[in-house]
Structures are given as structure tokens and as C-alpha cells.
Structure 1
Amino acid sequence: MSTAAASGGGWLSSLVDAVVALMDVIGPYGAGIAIAAENVFPPLPSEAILPMAGLAAQRGSFALWEAILWTTVGSLTGALLLYGIGAWFGLERLRRIADRMPLVKVQDVDRTVAWFDRHGGKAVFFGRFIPIFRSLISIPAGVVRMPLWRFALLTTLGSLIWNTAFVLVGWYLGESWHIVAPYMDTFQNVVLVAVAAAVAVFLFIRIRAHLRTRRNGSVD
């Protein structure tokens, strides 16, 4: 069940092969461990791991429902770990750090918290369908102490939909599952470019405002 041919080799394919080998050894629990690791380490692609779990289920290594169940348990476990990190970090500590960082203001943190209070539930649920964000969104949820039951429920529902879709891809496509990989790679690259562009715009606006403030101060 090697992914090297599909993903073109390299460290990422080797990493995926390692977690797939774990799946072969301990069954659906290995798939759950792999997806939990994917939540904590976003570059590990669930889009590759989940179809492999479906393929293993098709081959009879374990049942289809076991693949879906344990990958969802893995998603929730990884998300809860990041939630815990965010809760340990805390809002006041984040404010203090923001106050010391160049180009960042405490008001930025407060606005983000206010936004999360209004839209946090949607962000947690729909964030499960977006690469990178499905991991990172758990941290601010912990920082603002979203009720744990609500976070767990929304994470479970979103992860169940995402995991089921990709496990079924592996189940139905079998050995040809990798034909969808290029489309998911394109989607993930679009997300990364959009994030990079947003960061670049933020930095441009803040640097320009900082320079303007310094220039006006010099004139005064």
C-alpha cells in the first residue's frame, strides 16, 4: 500500500508510508493514530491517509465502519490536544505577547476573540474541511475557552463528514484512489497561497501605518 508512486517520492511520501505501515500492523487503530498525528502536524496529509484506510477496509483488513470510527476518534483526539494547548496558553498571556510584538496590537487579539465569540462554532465546524485550518482552529478555540462539549461535538461532526468522504474514496476507487490526489493538492496549494497573500497584505498595511506614524512624529 505504498504511496510513493502516487505522491512522487520524497520525505512526505516516506512519512505517509510509515503511518500506512502502522495501519497494516495494528489495523484501524493505526489509522486513528495517523489522523491524530495529522491534526497536530498539518503537513501530514489526511487526503492521503484516509483513502488508504478505505482501501485497507476494501481489502478486508478491517471493516469500513471501523475505518470511519477510528479516524474520527483520531481527529477528535488531535483536536482536543491542540485545544488543551490553547487553553493552557490562555488569553491574558496572548495579550501580553501581542503587546510586545512589532506590528501586532492587543486590539488585534481582542477583535479576534470578539469574532470567535460570534462565529467560533461555524469556524470549528467548517474549518474541518479546510487544509491547515482544520488543525489550527483548535488552538484559538482553547484560548477563548469555547465550551468543551460544544467544541468536541462540532469537531466530531465536521471530522465525521470529512473522514467518511475520503475513506469512501479509497473504498470505491480501490487501487485507483490516487487519481483524486492532484485535485486535493491543488486545493491545498490554493489555501496556502491565500493564507500567504493575507499575511502579506496584513504586513504591508501595518508596516505602512508604522512608517506613517514615525514620519508624522518626526515632523512634530
Structure 2
Amino acid sequence: MDFTAWAISLMEFLGGPGMALVIAAEALFPPIPGEILLPFAGVSAAANGQHVLVPLLWTTLGSVLGGLGVYAVGRALGLRRTRAVVRRLPLLEERDVDTAMRFFERWGFPAVVLARFVPMVRTFISIPAGIERMPVGLFALATAVGSGIWNAVFVVAGYAFGQAGGEVLEGFVRIYSTIVAGIGVLAVIGLVIQRLRARRRARDSARDEADDPATPPTLEG
């Protein structure tokens, strides 16, 4: 069973809490494709005869809980130790943390709201919010606003197809899963290539500096 099927089964088995758990996991583990899972939360709710607000509230709660988890990590570690941890993680670099810090320092509350619309970035923005000790209530509010808007787009779409049912729903599930999974694979491959090239350039630059002898001082007579 692939991850998408497992997540759908969990949402169907646990209902709303399952939706929150799956979406919270996406915030804590960015490679998990939330954009795949959100429509199926709407599909599941429609199949169970629930109002569309039910999956929307549960998925938004999951986004807030996941964001708070990452926020807590940033707050506990601080900037120096966060950089040290990132240096040891594959495919991540210190400049990712620095970029998120600058974005947050410049925009604050709107940065957290807007970051919820961008995969990966929505996870990273929680780190500087924690490092800078943004008030927890304010951070939760910003995350809820951004995530609520973002989640609604996918949840409502899934809910509409879930109500249609039959071949329409089957076609939606099949095509949507294939397209988004393909995009996810391409995004990961692109990120890996980008990181490997950046690290190779950094090694080459360091080697060139080590091989380049210091320019001897000139004697003026």
C-alpha cells in the first residue's frame, strides 16, 4: 500500500482526528505531499455525509498543530543550534534558515500567513518564528489563517468530486494522484540536483582557494 492509500485509510478510519494527524505529519515531515491528501479529506467527508466545514476545520487544526511542532523546535534550539542541526541534514543548507529568518524579520505575521501557500517554505517559516519567540497565539492565528485559505481550495474541490461520486470521483482520484505524484517526484529530483551542484561548486571553490598560492609581497626600492 502506497502512502496516499495509507493516509486515506487513516482518514476514513479515524475521521476528523485522522485528517488532523495526517496534515500535521505533513508539516513535520515536508516530503509528505499535503496537496495530495487535502482533496481526499473532502472526498471522505462527502462520502460520510458531513458538511464541508468539517474536513476544513480538522485539516486546518492539523496544519496549526504541525506548525506549532516545528515552532517549538526553533524556539528550543535557537539560531546557532538550528544552523548546526541543518548542517547535518541532507539536502538542507544553512542559507535556507538564513533566508527564512530574513523573510520573517521583514514581514512577521504576514510572512507566516503567506508561507502557508508554499510547500517546504511553510515548514521553514515556523523555525524563525520560534527562534524569534513570536507569541504562540499570534503564530497559531497566522498559521490558521494561511492554512485555512490554502486547505479550502483543495478540500472543497475534493468535496465536490466526492458528492458527484461514481466514475467522476474515480477519474478524479486516478488523474489527480498521478499528476501530483509526478510533480512531487520531479520536485524532489530537481531539489537533489540543485543541492548537489551547489555543494560541488562550494567544494571546487574551496579547492581552488587552497591550490592558489598567496601572492608574494612586492619589494619597493
Give the TM-score band, short-chain normalised. Answer: 0.7 to 0.9
Verify the 8 A CA contact 2:56 2:155 in the aligned structure 1.
yes
* Mapped pair 1:188 → 2:184: yes
Give me the CA root mean square deviation: 3.4
CA displacement, residues 89-128 of structure 1 (integer Å, 9 cap, x when unaligned)? 1113245668999xx9989966763454225655533332
- 1:41 maps to which of 29, 46, 50: 29
CA gap of 1:212–1:86, structure 2 versus 1, over 3 A, is same
Distance across 2 between alignment mates of 1:34 and 1:100: 26
User: Does 1:20 find its partner at 2:8?
Assistant: no
- Alpha carbons of structure 1 residues 40 and 107: separation in structure 2 relative to 1, 3 Å: closer
Question: 1:141, 1:151 within 8 Å by CA — same for their partners in 2?
Answer: yes
| Alpha carbons of structure 1 residues 140 and 204: separation in structure 2 relative to 1, 3 Å | farther
Structure 2, unaligned stretches of length 5 or more?
A: 163-168, 217-221
| Partners of 2:97 and 2:124 within 8 A in 1 | no
Deviations along 1:76-100, one digit per CA (max 9) or x if unpaired, are 0111011101111111324566899
* TM superposition shift of 1:13: 3.6
Q: State the partner residue of 1:143.
A: 131
**Aligned position for 1:93:** 81
Inter-CA distance 159–113: structure 2 relative to 1 (3 Å threshold): closer
Identity among equivalent pairs (%)? 32
TM-score, length basis structure 2: 0.74
**Residue identity opposite 1:22 in structure 2:** F
Q: Is the 1:20–1:49 Cα contact (8 Å) retained in structure 2?
A: no
Equivalent residue letter for 2:67: A
Partner of 1:199: 195
Match runs of 1:151-190 below 5 Å: 151-174=139-162, 175-176=169-170, 177-178=172-173, 179-190=175-186
Matching of residue 211 in structure 1 with residue 207 in structure 2: yes
Question: Unaligned stretches of 5+ in structure 1?
Answer: 1-9
| Structure 1 residues 31 and 61: CA distance shift in structure 2, 3 A | farther
Alpha-carbon distance in 2 for matches of 1:139, 1:105? 14
Determine which structure has more spread, i.e. the larger CA radius of gyration.
Answer: 2
Partner of residue 41, structure 2: 53
Q: Shift in Å at residue 75 of structure 1? A: 0.5
The answer to whether 1:128 aligns with 2:120 is: no
Residue type at the aligned position of 2:19: A
CA distance in 2, matches of 1:165, 1:194: 26
Matched to 1:168, the amino acid is V
